[in-house]
Every structure is written in structure tokens, then in C-alpha cells.
Structure 1
Amino acid sequence: MSKKFAKITLDRDFRISRIDKRIYGSFIEHLGRAVYTGIYQPGHPTADEAGFRKDVLDLVREIGVPIVRYPGGNFVSNFYWEDSVGPVAERPRRLELAWRSTEPNLVGVNEFADWSKKAGSDIMLAVNLGTRGIDAACNLLEYCNHPFGTKYSDLRISHGVKDPHDIKVWCLGNEMDGPWQTGHKTALEYGRLADETAKAMKQIDPSIELVVCGSSNTGMPTYPQWEATVLEQAYDDVDYISLHTYYGNRFHDTANFLAQSDDMDHFIKTVISTCDFVKAKKRSKKDMMLSFDEWNVWFHANEEDDDTMKNRPWSVAPALLEDHYDFEDALLVGLMLITLLKHSDRVRMACLAQLVNVIAPIMTEKDGPAWKQTIYYPYLHASKYGRGVALNTALRASRHDTMDYSGVTDVESAAVWNDEEEELTIFAVNRDLQEEIVLESDVRSFEGYELLEHIVLAHEEMTAVNSAQTQAVLPKSVTGWDGLESGFLSSRLPKASWNVIRLKKKG
């Protein structure tokens, strides 16, 4: 008889936090085909009057992406924003140093702001603190947010954009700890620059929120001292510190791969601890919030990318980082979303990196269709049903060990109560590769609720992928898998599966 089990207790008073919808953000960088033939392709059968692909916009709107980070990423550290505005025919072509491509500047700040409005998304705009500094950051902010009557606000108006973009979230550079970054700096150098930039930008617009760069990943030799040093300089003047991480199944060990969300959990806890240490050191009353503004699975196309950048440099929009995601990747993305929800009291923003073509849930063919990768579905479900209050699930579950991790729960779960709609959603991943597990949920606090739907994403083949021609990995609604009686819900979770269990108060 199996000893596998999973139990959660849900009470509307056992709350983690009200979720900031921006936790379901994403990322568009001028990298590969994310912009050109991704969101933008004049002449495409679905292109609108501005050249934006409406088939892609439809898929972005279906997810309900609340905020999109732009224009990078590594790209931003050699970004001259002035080249991206004004008459398109007069814009220069530039060597793009991060990805060894040529940037034609056909899409720039104003065009992306137009696309974001059409997508229903806000913008998280990054400034170049690699090759540039305080003046360029302040000038861009003035261009975007000041109403009129100054050099850069009037320049925007002369470019045909009368109303300010009113962008509220700004990133102070990108991955400045990384030697690969153009303009790489030490923690002290960067911390000082970030702080002075933050102070100047908030003089222009005190309503903005600023994200300071944390470590590029937990493997950096300066992690987590980087966070401590940077925050010792900039704590009082910034609002968030960033986290970045990517995972991959390079050793073809699925159980170990699916345990990597535990590393993400540890990463978040470590950064929170570091932030709180600096808070104590400074005798501050402010809690530093976290922006997990790059996260995803990324490893499938690495060798191809290296070959393209080394042997065929300086092309426009080459195919880079076009990972084709399989079913097990979707499971880990679901687990990472659950991890973010479990820390929604401090992780207030996050960006699945990226959105289109580049390590992305949405893929396009030039002149052809747009389609959904396997990872599209857990991202869609979390954004759609994960709005409201994150609840502490008090999870108890059987455990297993993997090559790199011990005490890995067979089931991971998060729960969200949408108090406005009187809906309760349980997200659960069964990480066991062999056995179905029954999730027992105590929902007595939600008296009068009834089962609305159980969505499951499962497949017999871990390596199953979707394509423009075939959607092999698709979620489905199932019936007869759940029983609700006297406030206790029993739900069957198939082996290796992503589950969305929805309840609603009887109307």
C-alpha cells in the first residue's frame, strides 16, 4: 500500500498576503526574435496599422500580463534610448554588444508603450547604468513622464506623443555583478551609482518605484554579499531588489529537475534575510521588497546560441534562445509559480523571462502563426486564477530525495482566495513520477463553497512538446476526480501533473 500523501488546511484568516498582480509579469528584450517577427512584423497577415502582430497580442491578453520589463536584460547596458525615438527613418542602426546583433531601432520606447497599451500591460522600464549613468536615466524619465515645458518632455511631444507615458516602475540597470555585462561594476561601485541615480530620478517623479540589481544568480562568487553591499548604499532610496534564476534538466534527471523549485525557495529566503539584516543595520522601518524579474527554464538552445553569436554575428533578429519547452518544463514552471505565491508578502513583482520567442511561452513563425508552448498553460492559469489573497496552506506531504536535494515534498501546493469573486483556487503539482496522490484539503473555513472545476495538465511523455502544427500538451477539465463532503475536499492528482482546483461560493 502506498505511503504517499498530501494534506493542506485552508483558512481565510491564515493569510500570507494580498497578491500584487505584478507577480505575473513578463519580459521583452531586444534579443533574438522577441521584438522583430515576435511582437512586431509589418506585413504579417495579422499586423495592425503599427505593425504589431494581433495574433501575439491576443495570446498576451489571454494571459492577462500585468507588467512587462523592457528593453532588457543585457541589451540595456549598451542602450542609447535617444536612438529609439523620433522619426523611424532617421534612427541609426547600432551594434548590439550583449547578443552580437545589429539593432535597427524600428521599435523603440514610444512604439513599445503603444504595444503595451494594446496588450493591457504596464511597463517596467530599465535604464542603462552600464555604459551610461545618472544623466541619461534622468533624461529618459523626463521624456517619458514629465507633461510638457522642458527639453525632453517637449522632445516627446515633437515626436507625436502628447501625453506622458507615466511609467511607474524603473530598473536601475541589469545584472551589474556579471562580468558578461557591458559596464560591469563592483558592488560598491554599482551601489553608489544606483543610489545617486535613484535620488535624482525621484526628484523628477517622486511617485516612481525603483528596482536595484541583486545577484545574477546564486552561483555568483559575490552572492549574497553583493546584495548586502548594494543595499548598504541604496536601501533608503530604492523600493525593490531584483532576483534572477533559470533552471535546466541538463543531466536528464526529471526528479532532480522538478526539485529545483526548492532552490528557488531557498534563494528567496536568503535574499529576504539579507535585506532584513541591512534594515536592522540601518535602523530602518522600511521592508525591502523583492522583484523576481527574471525566472524560467532555460537550457535547450545554449549550444546553438553560442554558435550563432560567435560565427554569424551582427545580423538583425537572429534566432536566439528559442528553447522548445517540453512537458516537464511546464511542471517546473508551475512549481516556480507556486514558490512565488508562497512568498507573495515580499515578492511583489516577478517577470517570466521572456514573453515571445526568446525562452518564451509564446512562439511565432515569421509570416506564419503564433502558438502556445507547454509552459504557457501554468502561467495562464496562475495569472487568471491567482488574483486575491495567498493563503498559508500548512502543507503536510510525503517526501523523497533526489541527486541534489533531500526532503523534497511529493506534492507542492499554493492556494489563493479571491475574496471579491468568492472563489478559492488550489494550485498543486504532483512531483511523484510513478504514483497518483490524493490531496486532502480542509476547507471548512469556506462554508457554502462548491467545486467549480479541476483542470489538469498531464502527459505520459516528459519530453512531449507543442508546435505550430500540434498542441500535444494541453490542459483539460476533469470530472469525478474530486469529492467535497463536510468541509473536506479529496482530489486525485495524477503522477507528474499540474492541477488547478477551483471552488466557488454557491450563489
Structure 2
Amino acid sequence: MAPSDTQPAATAATAATASLTASLTASLTASLTASLTASPAFVVGPVRRETFGSFVEHLGRCVYTGIYEPGHATADEAGWRGDVLDLTRELGVSTVRYPGGNFVSGYRWEDGIGPKNERPVRLDLAWHSTETNHVGLDDFMDWCRKAGVEPMMAVNLGTRGVQDAVDVLEYCNLAGGTALSDLRRKNGSEEPHNVTFWCLGNEMDGPWQIGHKTAQEYGRLASETARAMRMVAGDTLRLVACGSSGPRMATFGEWERAVLTETYDMVDYISAHQYFENSGVLEDHLAAGAVMDQFIGDIVAHIDHVKSVKKTSKDVHISFDEWNVWHMGSPRTPIPSGTDWPEAPALLEDLYTVADAVVVGDLLITLLRHTDRVHSASLAQLVNVIAPIMTAPGGAAWKQTTFHPFALTSAHARGDVLQLAVESPRYVTPEHGEVPALSAVATHDPETGHVTLFAVNRSTAEPLRLDADLSAFAGLGLLEAVTFTNEDPLWHATEQDSTSVLPAPLDGAAYDGGRLTAELPPVSWTMIRLG
């Protein structure tokens, strides 16, 4: 859609948001001052590197002209875009989930191995596209090694099942001496890929999913698949059962109970998926972290119920392997239909605002606060498709606003996640009721003594004065204070301008006598490092 078509609607939405902001600011139940206390004695759990995972699906331009573009000026001999590899490393991604997503539920993994000119071209029913299979399993493992990330593979439990999962595991992980492991060696991967992280299907509760199943049907299949995979590789595997596709699914809760009843003894994680959209009411959008917090609490309750009924000491954790801001109502890149089956069409290419970046930073804060139960997470996705990295075919790669809070959190969250005592003013949202204005988490690295505080001011109009008691830590000094904000929270990066709004020093932050004070701007994400 042309810019002239969208400008009046955007202007109206901005005016409506400004009007609502003014009315809701008056509903704050306390002055805009928040306090917190942190101590190394109160630990939630370790900072888990797996929290900083991402996701590459054969969807839109995530793979083709995203991570892979032979002939690009930065491409290596295998066709991987060097600029995207550099940005992936800078983003600080730890694991990458592949090849889907909805795509995996109709995927034949053997289509993507062997000589590229012999690979079959297939219809991808999930995204109504044509899949060339020029990138497949062995290729992706090569990309992971170059990017310095761990692969998180998904198996097809939509149109396939137990035998297919065992076959792809044998192909990936056995050293040799069997038909499939020797086929991998023949295809150029002499050493096994040693993939330990596996998703047992994707969103099988969703009617949109190819091979959609009831909870009982999926639970039995997932349990038998996990059992067979463990016969091959035992406890070296980390297996993820499909949880609900979101908290608004009619089957949420009952799905978790039924699936875990079947799979509890066989799996290590149950998945969680959740996306957030700015409906035009900025206050509601900025409450996303509080909404995710409730979702995690509900999933924990369902896990613990099954654990109690089974009378087991084993713990199953959460793999939050799809999360992000996703403007599903955007008309920018509609999904093809009818007789149109394009190769790598532009799909789901959201442009992220400063407010979206604040929300992403807040969602990471929430995931870290639950590090005792959330042991893995994947930002969906990595490139072009609702992604922090964008590319132009044959052209540049650039950072979206959401890149910045993710990269800084991944770089500086180290050691233990601390349990904070927080007192915050609250504000009223139309959809979610009262929400704290401050969202915060702190990490402490016992080896270096560093303390890092990540904080979001959800208020749309007022700065938030922060008073933090850190007197339980000895020998601290202020190392760095940066914030990400802008007078226009709806500003977004483009290929022509991705650097006008960047994380910048936070003026006025001070540390003295064990007390940290700072003023957090409205609609802002902030990181303060002490050591």
C-alpha cells in the first residue's frame, strides 16, 4: 500500500492515542516515583543463555534473501550473507529454532539434502509459497557454525511421525555406519551435527496447522516420538512438547493438562507462544510484559498440577519458543492465495517503532524474572519476518528498533537473576486494568561483582523517578547508564535511516552510598550497569 494511503489513518490513530494518554495519565494511583531493593541473597535462578534464542523459518524472506543470498556482495562461498551473520553475532543470539513454525508440519527434511540442483521443488501449504529447498538441514548446520549459535530443530508431527523423527535424528547425530548417517557423510558432513535440542512438532492445537490434532491425539504421538528418539540418543536430548499457541486458545489449560499427562516422563519442556500487537491504544501495548507474566504463571500452574497428580519429583520447564510484537492486522505484506505460489515473497515484514522496542525489552525482562521456570526462549523471527534484522535483496542489512534492547540485554545479563522488592505506581489500561508503571529485573555476576539493572517506564506521558537500594552489594560504582526512547514513540527505522534513534546515555543517573537514582523517560527501556 502506498504511503499516501496509510498517512491519514496513522495520523488519526496518533491523535486518538494522544487523547487517551491525556485522560489515562490522571488515573495513576500514586506519584511517579518507584523504588526497588536488590540483594545477592535473593536469587531467582541463573541467567540462561538459552533465553536469548531466535527463530529461522522457511517463511517469506527469512531464509531466501535473508540469511541466504548467493551473489550478494557480502555472501560467502556457501551463499550466506556476511552482513546478516555479523548482525546475528552482534544481536547475541544463542539458539536458533528451525525450520518452523507452521512450515515444519508439512516438511520433508530429506528434500533439503544432497546436491542443490537435484533437490525437489515443493508447494509450501503453510504460507502458500513455493519452496526450492536450496537451503536445507546440512546447510543450516553450516550457517549455525558460522553464526556461533546452537540449532534447535523441529520435527514434523503434522503429516509425519515417529519414524521420520528417528530418521532425521539418525541422520544428524550418528557418527556413521548406518544408511542415514553414511548418507550425511556422503553429502559432505563427515562429522555428526550432534543436535540435542528438538521440538516435537509445532502448534498442533491450532486449526490452521497442517495435521492439526486434539490434545489426546498429539499427546500420544509426541510421547511415542520422544520415547523412540531417546532409544537412539537417550538423555543427551532436550525435548519440547507443544503447548498452546497462545492464552486465548479455547483449549488453553486443558491442552497442557492432556498433553503433559501423556508426555511428562518423556519431555523436558512444554512450549509457549505469545505475540503482542499495538491496537492503537499505546497504554495497552505497553502492558505486554504484565500480560506475559500472567500467561507464564498460568502455564506453571498447569505443569505443577500434572506433576502433583503423577506424584513425581521431575520438573518440566517452559520453552517460550515464539514471542514478539507482531502487527497481525498490518496490510503491508498479505499472504498469497489462489494460483499464486511465489518463491520467498515478502511476508510479515513489520516495521517496528520505538514503543515496540520498549515492549520487546519489557518481554525480555519478564522472561528473565521467570528464569526458574522459563529455561529457553526464541524471539520470532531473526530476519525480515517480524524480525530485528531487515535486508534489501541485493542491498543493505539494517537494525530495527527491537534489535537494541535484545542485543544489550544478551550482552550484559550475566550470573544470577535477582528477586527484587519493587514498589511502583500503577496506571489504568482500557483492556488490562491496573498495570505497574515500572517493570524491572536485575542480574548479579558473582565472579565480577557487576550488577545490571534493566527497567522499563510504561507511562506514556510522565517520567518515572527510580530509587534503588543496592547497599547489600559492596564496592559498586556506576559504569554505564543508557536508555532507548524518543519524543515520537512511533518512530521506526528504515533502510535509509536506521540510526537516528539509538540507545543513548541516560542523563542524571547517579550512584552514592548504596543508592541508585535515575529518571526514566516516558515509554523507555533503560539499562544501568554497576561494578
Q: TM-score with structure 2 length normalisation? A: 0.93
> Which residues in structure 2 correspond to 1:106-117 (within 5 Å)?
106-117=134-145
- 1:303: Cα distance to partner? 3.1
Correspondence for 1:377 = 404
> Which residues in structure 2 correspond to 1:170-181 (within 5 Å)?
170-181=198-209
* Runs of 4+ with >6 A deviation: none
3-state SS of the aligned residue for 2:299?
helix
Match of 1:240, as an amino acid? Y
- 1:263: Cα distance to partner? 1.2
Over 3 Å counting, the alpha-carbon distance change for 1:266 and 1:473 in structure 2 is farther
Deviations 1:335-359 (A, max 9, x none): 1111101101110100000000000
Correspondence for 1:103 = 131
1:126 paired residue among 150, 154, 168: 154
3-state SS of the aligned residue for 2:517?
strand
Q: Distance in 2 between matches of 1:229 and 1:430?
A: 39
Cα pair 1:177 1:187 within 8 Å, conserved: yes
Deviations 1:429-451 (A, max 9, x none): 01111111111111111110100
> Which residues in structure 2 correspond to 1:166-245 (within 5 Å)?
166-206=194-234, 207-245=236-274
The aligned length equals 502
- Higher mean displacement: 259-268 or 475-484: 475-484
1:275 paired residue among 274, 292, 303: 303
- 1:485: Cα distance to partner? 1.5
Deviations 1:48-74 (A, max 9, x none): 010000000000001221100000000
Correspondence for 1:20 = 48
Match of 1:57, as an amino acid? L
- Higher mean displacement: 192-201 or 479-488: 479-488
Cα pair 1:374 1:473 within 8 Å, conserved: no
Q: Distance in 1 between matches of 2:448 and 2:191?
A: 35
Correspondence for 1:33 = 61
Cα pair 1:19 1:345 within 8 Å, conserved: no
Over 3 Å counting, the alpha-carbon distance change for 1:376 and 1:480 in structure 2 is closer
3-state SS of the aligned residue for 1:41?
coil
| Identity across the alignment (%) | 48
Match of 1:368, as an amino acid? G
> Which residues in structure 2 correspond to 1:41-440 (within 5 Å)?
41-206=69-234, 207-250=236-279, 252-299=280-327, 302-306=330-334, 308-310=335-337, 313-440=340-467
Q: TM-score with structure 1 length normalisation? A: 0.97
- 1:249: Cα distance to partner? 1.1
Q: Distance in 2 between matches of 1:262 and 1:480?
A: 27
Q: Distance in 1 between matches of 2:111 and 2:126?
A: 17
3-state SS of the aligned residue for 2:171?
helix
Deviations 1:128-178 (A, max 9, x none): 000000000000000000111011111101111110000110000000000
- Higher mean displacement: 13-22 or 414-423: 414-423
Deviations 1:105-146 (A, max 9, x none): 000000000001111000000000000000000000000001
Q: Distance in 2 between matches of 1:142 and 1:400?
A: 54
- C-alpha RMSD of the superposition: 1.3
- 1:300: Cα distance to partner? 5.6
Cα pair 2:332 2:349 within 8 Å, conserved: no
Q: Distance in 2 between matches of 1:192 and 1:459?
A: 50
Q: Distance in 2 between matches of 1:180 and 1:162?
A: 38
Deviations 1:179-223 (A, max 9, x none): 000000000000000000000001101101000000001111111
- 1:479: Cα distance to partner? 5.7
Deviations 1:414-436 (A, max 9, x none): 11112233211100001111111
- 1:301: Cα distance to partner? 6.1
Q: Distance in 2 between matches of 1:428 and 1:473?
A: 22
Deviations 1:429-475 (A, max 9, x none): 01111111111111111110100000110101121010111125533
Deviations 1:24-50 (A, max 9, x none): 100000000000000000000000010
